[in-house]
Chain A
Amino acid sequence: MTRFIFRRLAFALVTLWLVVSAAFFLIRAAPGGPFDGERRLPPAIEKNLLASYHLDEPLPVQYWRYLRMVGSGDLGPSFKQKDFTVNELIRAGLPISLGVGISAFLLALLFGTLLGTLAALGHNTFRDRFLSGLASLGLAFPPLIVAPVLVLVFAVGLAWLPAGGHTSPQHYVLPTIALSLPYIAAFARLSRVGCLEALRLPHVTTARSKGLSRRRLVFQHVLPSAIVPVLSYSGPAAAALLAGSMVVEEVFSLPGLGRYFVQGAINRDYTLVMGTVLVYAALILALNLLVDLLYGRLDPRVRSEMVASND
């Protein structure tokens, strides 16, 4: 088991390095640079500026310098937001993005699984059809549609909740809902199918024939196996949620990680882009690893595979 974790960690580190390298060379090869402005700088100043950020060195040298810097935990100074290091910006933005992301994920997981299970338990009844229809509807509403519409209705129209900012818990209500809606739908569908399949398993039939109460049957026998597809989608869903938070942060003017990334990409703020990509990639890889480990806890077949991969 420890060997499995170590191997996965090594794999994750290699992936992280690949992502960072791809990001490094892509953003460097992109047209434009961090010091392109309305007015062209005098050549002497531009030269000094480039030299002070080591941008005048050959690309491989810069790449090596960057890798060494990241290895020591320093993401460098931001090129555009003078006086700030990328570490400082990320420390400020990460809690906001994580706050929205985690609450949206939990909402989607709990609410989605609840709806899916309810639909499956009433298979082919009106309730099932109604909830499944609702789920298809939910998938057609990505945050990019939902977020501005929520602002329009609840902030501008009804004035119940603030339209932007991040100072109180109320500020997080609309962003969380906007972000979680399609994933509520996705989790509902997955858990519905998972439940329907679990209901056909022999041990569930046995349990039912022994006259177990409905509640115990559902919670002890059906849900543990029904939750497996939900869980395996959690990794990709969490990754998509993190990406989706870019739109939500934009609409609700939350100064999170996603906003820094987008600004960095537009301004060619090389270090900021690299730093945010690195943090996002590390988060996603960590989540995937966590999901795989949880998976092993829930499904004994996967666990034995992990042990088998030891030798």
Chain B
Amino acid sequence: MHRGSRTSIVCILLLAIALFLGPWLSPWGEEHIDWNAIDTPPSLVHWFGTDGSGRDLLVRTMAGGRVSLTIAFLATLVSFAIGLPWGAIAGYTGGRVDQVMMRIVDGLYGLPFMFLVILLVVFFGRNPYLLFIAIGAVSWLDLARIVRGQTLVVKNAMYIEAAKALGVSDPWIVTRHVVPNVMGPALVYATLTIPGVIIAESFISFLGLGIQEPQTSWGVLIADGATRLHAPWQLIFPATFLAVTLLVLNVAGDQLRDAMDPQEKGVRL
């Protein structure tokens, strides 16, 4: 595996471990209010400072990160659950079915998704656990295209022909032979879906429509920080965490993709 992508994956794992283990190591609780330290800048007691209600920002940032990453992971699973069968069936069946299915994907591309996601979130009554379904339900389009493309390649392989000659049924071929073979590229692509999904969650929470107090996410923390600019650390810490996470995930996804598609030869002028 590429060295860069290995580094970024290690980074992601370290971050996840920190986010999930961190709270046990800190003396402060997620909703614990320190009345002696309201709106205080970073210090040895509160490493990232405190927010307007005197809650420890380090613990809040980690709690927010847990929520953001969990929702992103679940939403990616949802997009996988829709995009993978959609692309595989379209690609394998071909003909009219393929045309109709891909036209639907094309049509959906041209829609104002963020608005529908927000309406779905409103419809779910701000249940944070259903936020991921709304986001996942609209982020499967690219995945469906990639899977279809891969299926078209796999479809003509000898082993598929052999399976057909043996009289294996189509659903069986798709689930047992096509899906496992398109899984690699699909997984790589999923790494590229995650940052987009994290942005979507933060975006909705930022607007005050997603995660609600006392629960938090990076989007909520950044929104809070943006209105309290007299205490810049309340913006800078969550924003840095979100940016670094997005950066690392983007780099990992790109390099995994390049590793699978080494068609990067160029001509110099």
Contacts and interface: CB of A to CB of B under 8 A. Distances in A.
B67 to A, nearest CB: 16
Interface string A246-285: 1100110000000001100110100001001100110011
B109 A236 contact: yes
Interface string A35-65: 0000000000000000000000000000000
A23 B268 contact: no
B269 A217 contact: yes
Contacts of A236: 109-110
A144 B115 contact: no
A23 B116 contact: yes
A140 B109 CA distance: 22
A199 B269 contact: yes
A294 interface: no
B119 A22 contact: yes
Interface stretch (A66-74, A78-86, A90-98, A119-127): A119-127
Contacts of A142: 199, 202-203, 246
A39 B203 CA distance: 31
Interface residues of B, number: 45
Nearest to B248: A140
A303 B64 CA distance: 50
B107 A15 contact: yes
B111 A284 contact: yes
A231 interface: no
A119 to B, nearest CB: 10
Given A240-B114, A268-B122, 19 more contacts: A22-B116, A26-B122, A27-B119, A123-B266, A136-B247, A139-B247, A139-B250, A144-B202, A145-B242, A148-B226, A149-B235, A152-B236, A200-B267, A235-B109, A239-B111, A246-B203, A261-B115, A265-B209, A285-B110
Interface of A: 11, 15, 19, 22-23, 26-27, 29-32, 120-124, 136-137, 139-142, 144-145, 147-149, 151-152, 156, 196, 199-200, 208, 214, 217-218, 235-236, 239-240, 242-243, 246-247, 250-251, 261-262, 265-266, 268, 273, 276-277, 280-281, 284-285, 288
Top 10 A-B residue pairs of the complex, sorted by shortest distance between their CB atoms = A243-B114, A148-B226, A140-B247, A140-B246, A123-B266, A26-B119, A288-B110, A199-B267, A31-B125, A30-B122
Interface of B: 107, 109-116, 118-120, 122-123, 125, 195, 199, 202-203, 206-209, 219, 222, 225-226, 229, 232, 235-236, 239, 242-244, 246-247, 250-251, 254, 265-269
